[in-house]
A and B are shown apart, each in its own frame.
Chain A
Amino acid sequence: MASTILRRPWERLLAYIVLGITGFVMVFPFIYMFLSSLKPSAEVVQVPPTLWPSEVRWSNYLEVLSIVPLGTQLINTIIVTVLVVLGWVLTSVLAGYAFARLEFPGREWLFGAYLATLMVPFAVLIVPMYRLMLVFGWVDRLEALIIPWLFTAYGTFLLRQFFMSVPRDLEDAALIDGASHWGILFRIFLPLARPAIATLATFAFLYAWNSFLWPLIIISSPARKVVTQGLVDLQALYAARVDLIMAGSTLAVLPTLIVFLFAQRYFIEGIATSGLAGR
């Protein structure tokens, strides 16, 4: 990190102007969304638009919750997200360790094949997955949003790379002491892997919270939908009530923003690390 480009004061000023404008473009929509969600329905379609609500209507939130079960849908989304995050972490830790540390026949071949699954676009799997869910009886059930999505080649890759960087002496000593591989994984490797797991968890969170295509296909009962679907329903049924749509969007965006506020470091570092995987 060397300051090599911006040397003169006016250059710095220019940099701040660029950053300021970009920052405004990135953040202002959210502020406007929140403020609009508090306006009376006639005010949101008014030209020129107002910034501050002429009267603050928190009742918009109550109304949106009464016409679309967004509350239930938020809970569904939270359940799905938490379980998917746990599943990603658990299966990736186990598989990552096995691929990094256990020398069994066919290991490289298996790992290569697993990585190759990343090449296949999800679109290819949509139709057969739907039919599979019919067979399992998971159509219109939360199981369909959770169980098939507990596995990830990406996470396995991430943790394998991490585990491979752990010095061997540690585990050799433990092995001679009679520890099993399971013991080594959970007592030695898992605590070491916390940063990598945090990275993975943030990815899983973003992935699960934002999923849209699959729930759209598989869930049809309002009480089992996730929040992204609830929003689309809201848009389809109450297109004329922009105030309510903004209230619904605020409800959907807010939890992620709160999580981001507290776990900002992990999000950004996590994604930065994934970029380094390309090196």
Chain B
Amino acid sequence: MGGWGISLAAHDAGLWPAHPGDRTGWESLAPGAGCSSVALRWWIVRSAKIVLDIKFIRHPLTTGTARKSVVSNFSGSRNDAGTMNLHSSRNNNIMSPTTCRSATCDVAYRDGTPRLSMTASSGRARVVDGWGLFAEKGTATMLRKHTLSWIALMALLATLLAACGGGQPTTGGTGGSSGSTGGQQQTVTIRWRTRPGDAAEQRVYEELNALVNEKLKDKGITAVYDPAPNQGYFEKLKTELAAGNAPDIFWIGGVELADFVNTGQILDLKPLIDADSSFQLSNFYPNVIEQLTRDGKIYGLPRDISTMVVYYNEDLFKAAGLKTPKELAAEGNWNWNTMLEAARKLTDPANQQYGLGFGNWWGPAWGYFINAAGGSPFTPDRRGCALNTPESIEGAKMVRLLYDEKLLPAGDADGEALFNAGKVAMYFNGRWFTPGVRTNAKFNWDVAVMPEGKVKSTWLFWGPYLVNAKTANTQAAWEVLKVLTSAEATAKVAALGTNIPPRSDKAAVDAFLASTPPANNQAFLDGIPYAALEAPVWDGSWADFSGIVQSLWDQMIAGQITPEQFGQQACEQTTSTFK
């Protein structure tokens, strides 16, 4: 290495592996007597400043547009405290502090991008999150992403590694993370992500992270919890997957599954499940696993589920001398007729009291009623709209009747407030409604299964954890995933009161049933076998479909169009949302 100033230029784009995901291209220099650690240690000792001239080439495969070269300067300096500052002359985006110990760099960016873990222990760099780096004899080529500063970091690593000179190439499919160099135990970092709704939920996930770290300490696995905000959550994940810097494990909503699996960036867990005798797939609810299975591959494990039930005000039922939904269900007489009867008797406009209530969105409104009437929003193959079938229209008619008779509050969220105030007798909602009722309701309440229409129906809402196909160490990711979906962890999440463990083994179920009120927690579990699952639309766009249907539904319940017109127009207008 000629002094501190090192000039690196990419001359040959051909140095690139044929495909970003093609592992065979990821040859690494053998650690050869801990070459990289030597370089790094040396780096740590000396406080220095280096300037790199790098030319980077946008990878031809990632964009499909013409190659473009841009030259930029970066400089980096390390202080004695062991942190590293990197600057880019382009946008002055300083990344700091960077802690670089042994061969792993943990970088926190200032530009709002999440933490990126980099591991460079096995000679030629392999970056955990999919950042590629090829360094040899002072030549570096790297993938470019919009944030230039990332490249600075890689360039720096390249320099360190270039210092090693030529070692023997070895195939390094799993990168340095799993390498056991000279008996020294190396840690693997697995980054995982959820979308906490509030601070309390985030705290629970931080506790889970501690649980994972405690359980997997001996295996040398470190978990890093990386929560992301609600806004743009899925969009951001998709982009990060494409760029190769997505977390190793992440939660998504069930309906989003198609979009993610279609990116080709989700790891098939089947081989891992088959190879792991300590893991029982049958502990999970089979209909949820079925949704995650496609062409024999299993694309994730559920984090939690929630079914829709009837929350009811026991005092109102008792005062009116009516049987409660729970009692009716026990008699096998809990259906739309008995529901309608109870709703009519309990509706008292003079007293601002409503028999029924539910939010005006697809779950309790058009989804449930159309399913329970024997119809469905989709054709059986989910490649087309079935809202215009006679059964579906029956469901719409039922809801129109409820609104016409003013058996429920008209405002979307009003029912929730009025139920808590004791003014609504029955309210359809998921498990997430429970904490609010616990705090606010000043009356006796319980839950029961959803009333039976022409058929039994309810919703099962769920969300899985998926594993990034580009994760550096699939085995380590699997270990973390196992802890995250264990009975212990899912029970912890369920203790928040907002959802149900995705597992049917006793430990998880008992923990859930013990979380009262409501006394009749069993009602949440009773619906699972026959529930319709919130499911991805593999050959279309659920978001576009549901938006159009909701708009027409609003017109239907307002009396602007008939239930028949609703079905007809919905199917006409949504054709373009299917592929």
A and B touch in the complex (CB under 8 A): yes
Q: Which residues of A contact B (CB under 8 A)?
A: 41-42, 44-47, 67, 134-141, 220-222, 237, 239-242
Instruction: List the A side residues contacting B91 at CB < 8 Å.
Output: 135-137
Q: Are B416 and A237 in contact, CB atoms less than 8 angstroms apart? A: no
Interface flag for B577 (CB, 8 Å)? no
Q: Mark B415-448, 1 if CB is under 8 A from A, else 0.
A: 0111111110000000000001000101000000
- Our count of residue pairs bridging A and B at CB distance below 8 angstroms stands at 66
Q: Are A45 and B421 in contact, CB atoms less than 8 angstroms apart? A: yes
CB distance from A229 to the nearest CB of B (A): 10
Residue of A nearest to B440 (CB): A41
CB distance from A154 to the nearest CB of B (A): 30
Q: Are B436 and A240 in contact, CB atoms less than 8 angstroms apart? A: yes
State which residues 16-36 of B face A: CB under 8 Å. Answer: none
Q: A220 is contacted by which of B93, B198, B232, B422 (Cβ under 8 Å)?
A: B232
CB distance from A163 to the nearest CB of B (A): 35
Q: A137 is contacted by which of B111, B197, B230, B413 (Cβ under 8 Å)?
A: B111
Tell me, in angstroms, the Cα distance from A222 to B231 when the chains sit together.
11
Tell me, in angstroms, the Cα distance from A241 to B441 when the chains sit together.
12
Q: Are A42 and B112 in contact, CB atoms less than 8 angstroms apart? A: no
Q: Are B414 and A45 in contact, CB atoms less than 8 angstroms apart? A: yes
Q: Are A137 and B112 in contact, CB atoms less than 8 angstroms apart? A: yes
Interface flag for B321 (CB, 8 Å)? no
Residue of B nearest to A135 (CB): B91
Instruction: List the B side residues contacting A42 at CB < 8 Å.
Output: 420-422, 440, 442
Instruction: List the B side residues contacting A45 at CB < 8 Å.
Output: 414, 417-418, 421, 423
Q: B146 is contacted by which of A44, A47, A135, A220 (Cβ under 8 Å)?
A: A135
Q: B109 is contacted by which of A135, A136, A137, A240 (Cβ under 8 Å)?
A: A137
Q: Are B416 and A240 in contact, CB atoms less than 8 angstroms apart? A: yes
Instruction: List the A side residues contacting B146 at CB < 8 Å.
Output: 134-135
Which label, helix, strand, loop or mixed, suits the secondary structure of the B interface?
Answer: loop
Tell me, in angstroms, the Cα distance from A45 to B440 when the chains sit together.
13
Residue of A nearest to B229 (CB): A220
Q: Are A220 and B231 in contact, CB atoms less than 8 angstroms apart? A: yes
Q: Are B93 and A240 in contact, CB atoms less than 8 angstroms apart? A: no
Q: Mark B188-207, 1 if CB is under 8 A from A, else 0.
A: 00000000011100000000
Q: A141 is contacted by which of B112, B416, B418, B419 (Cβ under 8 Å)?
A: B112
Instruction: List the B side residues contacting A67 at CB < 8 Å.
Output: 198
Q: Are B417 and A241 in contact, CB atoms less than 8 angstroms apart? A: yes
Residue in B93, B110, B111, B418 whose Cβ sees the most chain A Cβ within 10 Å: B111
Q: Are A47 and B352 in contact, CB atoms less than 8 angstroms apart? A: yes
Instruction: List the A side residues contacting B109 at CB < 8 Å.
Output: 137
Tell me, in angstroms, the Cα distance from A241 to B420 when the chains sit together.
9
Tell me, in angstroms, the Cα distance from A158 to B146 when the chains sit together.
40
With A46-B352, A240-B416: A140-B112 Cβ-Cβ less than 8 Å: yes
Tell me, in angstroms, the Cα distance from A137 to B422 when the chains sit together.
49
Q: Are A136 and B413 in contact, CB atoms less than 8 angstroms apart? A: no
Q: Are B413 and A221 in contact, CB atoms less than 8 angstroms apart? A: no
CB distance from B418 to the nearest CB of A (A): 6
Question: What would 18 more interface pairs be, CB under 8 Å, given A137-B110, A138-B112?
Answer: A41-B417, A41-B421, A42-B421, A42-B422, A42-B442, A45-B421, A46-B421, A135-B91, A137-B93, A141-B112, A220-B230, A220-B231, A222-B199, A237-B197, A239-B416, A240-B417, A241-B417, A242-B417
Residue of B nearest to A238 (CB): B436
Q: Are B232 and A240 in contact, CB atoms less than 8 angstroms apart? A: no
CB distance from A271 to the nearest CB of B (A): 34
CB distance from A245 to the nearest CB of B (A): 10
Tell me, in angstroms, the Cα distance from A13 to B215 when the chains sit together.
81
Q: A136 is contacted by which of B93, B421, B440, B442 (Cβ under 8 Å)?
A: B93
Tell me, in angstroms, the Cα distance from A255 to B199 when the chains sit together.
26
Tell me, in angstroms, the Cα distance from A142 to B149 when the chains sit together.
21
Instruction: List the A side residues contacting B440 at CB < 8 Å.
Output: 41-42, 240-241
